[in-house]
Structure 1
Amino acid sequence: MKRRSMILISLILVLVGSSIPVQAAGRSTEIQQVNQQLKKQHFTGSVLIIRDGRTILQHSYGYANFMKLQPNTTASDYQLASTQKVLTAVLFMQLVQAGKVQLNAPLSRYYPQIAHSKQITLRQMLDMNSGLYSMTDAQTMLSDSQLIKFAAQHVKVKAIGQHNYEPVNYTLLTGIIERVTQQSYQTLVKQRIIRPLKLQHTGFMLADYQQEATTTVAYKAVNSFLPYLVHDHESKIALNRKLGTGNMYSTVTDLFRLEQAIQQNKLLKPASVATLFNATDGSYRGGLYNYRDFVVSHGVESSYEAGLAMSRDGYSGVILLSNRKTGVSLSQQARKLYQRLRL
């Protein structure tokens, strides 16, 4: 009976729409059209659009936790998934900048047991051109060192030099970061990124997420008329094994500040930023897809999805974070909005 009631409430709320007001600095027809577009496609999550340092749309849609009738807000937390990889790339580039690691060093310097590792460079791993891939995931809770050892033992190689998006590249890079610094990845992210940037609602899913007051629940997109019918639970084991690749969360505001800080040389020197993101044709470099005037990122884990597009100067951008993945790619949508709004 309770389930029937929740389904009925869900249907009614979807039909009548959200009562949360649009928090936009501008009321232009174009921005209103964007807002209506997101509603029409049943977007569930938060959006932040900034042009030249000025917020032109900041709004949330749907529910963070439908069972508690808790709506998403602009302070809601969402899993970042693969958008986290740029943080790993930044930590790695900080070591390059300090002369502790060389971009063109062979993988064999750190993992000689991996086949063909003498032919693979660390730069290729950052850009997903290493040929490394893995078909096996750890099925138990492991420590960082155990996860890295597991990855090195189960990695395979094919087509070195060709782009092939494989998270194992960043797992192994995380292993190098921890070995060189003698600190955990989590400690380094907090010390070198979160605290210096004063990010108040960014952290790790297993360690920090439940301490937040604005957490969200992920929902499977089974039916647009019953959007909150099925939860999408990600196990602790699954989260644990995404070391350096997708086990963090943030808000739209924190994520914008983070990406802005990277583009504005607050975490790396200008030369290091230019080297890390040295492409203009949309190629993957250092955790981002790089175009001439802007960069794009995308992440999907369980039913969380993140998409962003940001100008190279860090003053303009689109952030989309969702706790209900639909058939629309948020990275493509962020890029289209960025270009449509001429940010």
Structure 2
Amino acid sequence: MRRRFPARTLAATALAVAGLLPMTLGAAPAAVPVTGPAATATADARDAPDGRELSPELQARLDEAIRQVMRQAGIPGVQVGLWIPGQGRYLRAFGVAEKETGAPMTDRTNMRIGSETKTFTATAVLQLVDEGLVGLDDPIAKYLGGVPGGEEIRVRDLLDMRSGLFPYTDDDDFIDAFLDDPHRVFTPEELLAYGYRHPNEFEPGARFRYSNTNYILLGLLVERVSGRSIEAFVHDRITGPSGLRHTLFPQGTELPEPYAHGYTDRTPTGTVTDSTHWSPSSAWAAGALVSDLHDLARWARDVATGTLLSPGTQAQRLDVLPTGVTGAGYGLGIFDINGWTGHAGSLFGYQSLAVYLPEQRATLVVLLNSDVVAGDAEPSTLLGRAITGIVTPDHVYDIPLGR
């Protein structure tokens, strides 16, 4: 029998994190003692200009809700940042960044952010669109050869997950290769080859299907058209102008200090293991970035409001299409979940959520160091649901598992 991941494929991200990819439940680890809010929590002037905090009553409700989810899902550590103009901010870190040492999680701990990366890759492509160097309705074959059906698949189809290309993360040989050596370095071309060996699943534009293959291709598109690496392009054109000093493409398996250890059950036996230094090359332009809570708070607003794009291009990014899940739409590298705009991410042992609610100009960022499913949702969804259920009950972030 071929080995499969016990719960889901690698780099399950964004809507996949919330349950759009097939999965079964893995056993949750024993609950880790949860510490109180970190005393080191600090505020960035851009994060909360008025310096106010949410009311003590509301903070207490959020504290208890987050602790309850951590106990339920056995999450070692969590960072949460919430900013609601007119009401104030909520900035907390709970639990531990590393089980072995008991080092506390803080709001300045660096994490892998998984498919939050897609918002950066999509922004890079859309900047090239604004410069007239790429056309959204151009076939990808105009820029890159060897893509199955590349004469019909538009750049837009890759961005909004409607290309029909097979997800390389669902290929048995890719799964085996990764499980044999999680530290292996994959090239983008190797990743694409795993997907290209399968027939395209449907005609371009016919329906939504989340596929990391799309964003590996888009990373190569940025490199081909710009003449620069995706890492350099994102640094100079996106993280630099947005003031994101702690967001980067790692050169290898390293993480900048201080960092949280990640814990996953995406192993051959389903045993929870420390996956901190597994190679992020398996996700590259689809999910390899590292960041922190404060950078993601800035970025959630920038990507939702189009700071780095022309108004016309931003409007196209936000033109979300149905995904098949009630209340969930996907645009050009961005989703809308019951009014919350942004992205989520998951990459072996880490999960993230960075979203913006235009109606209230509210920002929510959640970072955690476990991707072990518990109950009816991914741990990041459980946290997002609990938090938004309290502060924005008319706009609850929620996607059921297994949809």
- The normalised TM-score by structure 1 is 0.83
Give 2:89's aligned amino acid.
I
Cα distance in 2, alignment partners of residues 11 and 245 from structure 1: 31
Q: Secondary structure at the match of 2:258?
A: coil
Unaligned runs of 5+ in 2: 1-28, 42-51, 179-183, 267-271, 322-326, 396-403
Does 1:79 find its partner at 2:124?
A: no
Question: Residues 155 and 310 of structure 1: is their aligned pair in 2 closer, same or farther, counting only changes over 3 Å?
Answer: farther
CA contact (8 A) 1:64 1:323 kept: yes
User: Measured at CA, do residues 41 and 240 of structure 1 come closer, stay the same or move farther in structure 2, by a change above 3 Å?
Assistant: same
Match of 1:20 in 2: 38
Deviates more, 1:332-341 or 1:96-105: 332-341
Partner of 1:319: 365
1:302, distance to aligned residue in structure 2 (A): 0.8
Q: How much does 1:35 deviate?
A: 1.3
Q: What value does the CA root-mean-square deviation take over the aligned residues?
A: 3.1
Match of 2:134 among 101, 105, 114: 101
- Does structure 1 retain, via aligned residues, the 8 Å contact 2:119–2:303? no
The answer as to 2:243 corresponding to 1:243 is: no
Counterpart residue identity of residue 175, structure 1: L
Structure 2 counterpart of 1:231, one-letter code: D
Equivalent pair of 1:308/1:331 in contact (CA under 8 Å):
no
SS in structure 2 of the partner of residue 50 of structure 1: strand
Of Structure 1 and Structure 2, the greater strand share is in 1
- TM alignment of 1:191-340, pairs within 5 A: 191-207=236-252, 209-210=254-255, 212-220=256-264, 230-236=273-279, 239-279=280-320, 282-290=328-336, 293-312=339-358, 315-326=361-372, 327=374, 328-329=377-378, 330-331=380-381, 333-334=383-384, 337-338=387-388, 340=390
Alpha carbons of structure 1 residues 314 and 55: separation in structure 2 relative to 1, 3 Å: same
1:34 equivalent in structure 2: 62
**Identity value in percent:** 19
TM-score, length-normalised on structure 2? 0.71
Q: Secondary structure at the match of 1:115?
A: coil
Q: Secondary structure at the match of 1:204?
A: coil
1:264–1:116 distance in 2 versus 1, CA, 3 Å: closer
Q: How far 1:114 moved relative to its partner?
A: 2.9
What is the letter of the counterpart of residue 232 of structure 1? S
- Name 2:99's counterpart in structure 1: 66
Name 1:4's counterpart in structure 2: none
CA deviations 1:294-341 (Å, max 9, x no partner) are 314221111101123212379312111001234243246426634641
The equivalent position to 1:163 in structure 2, one of 208, 212, 219, is 208
Q: Unaligned stretches of 5+ in structure 1?
A: 1-9, 223-228
SS at the partner of 1:244? helix
Instruction: Give the direction of change, closer, same or farther, for the CA distance of 1:149–1:322 in structure 2 (3 Å limit).
Output: closer
Q: Residue 66 of structure 2: SS of its match in structure 1?
A: helix
- Residue deviations 1:72-95 (CA, integer Å, cap 9, x gap): 001011111011101100000001
CA, structure 1 residues 323+87, in 2 after alignment: closer, same or farther (shift >3 Å)? Answer: same
Change in Cα spacing, 1:33 to 1:336, as seen in structure 2 (3 Å) is closer
Q: Is the 8 A contact 1:148 1:175 kept in 2?
A: no
Rounded Cα–Cα distance in structure 2 between residues aligned with 1:314 and 1:204: 32
Corresponding residue to 1:56 among 69, 73, 89: 89
CA distance 1:26–1:143, shift in 2 (3 Å): same
Higher relative contact order (CA 8 A, sep 6+): 2
Is the contact between residue 81 and residue 364 of structure 2 (CA under 8 Å) also seen in structure 1?
yes
Higher mean C-alpha deviation, range 284-293 or range 150-159: 150-159
**What is the number of residues matched between the two proteins?**
323
CA drift of 1:69 comes to 2.7
| 1:101-140 matches, cutoff 5 A | 101-133=134-166, 134=168, 135=171, 137=174
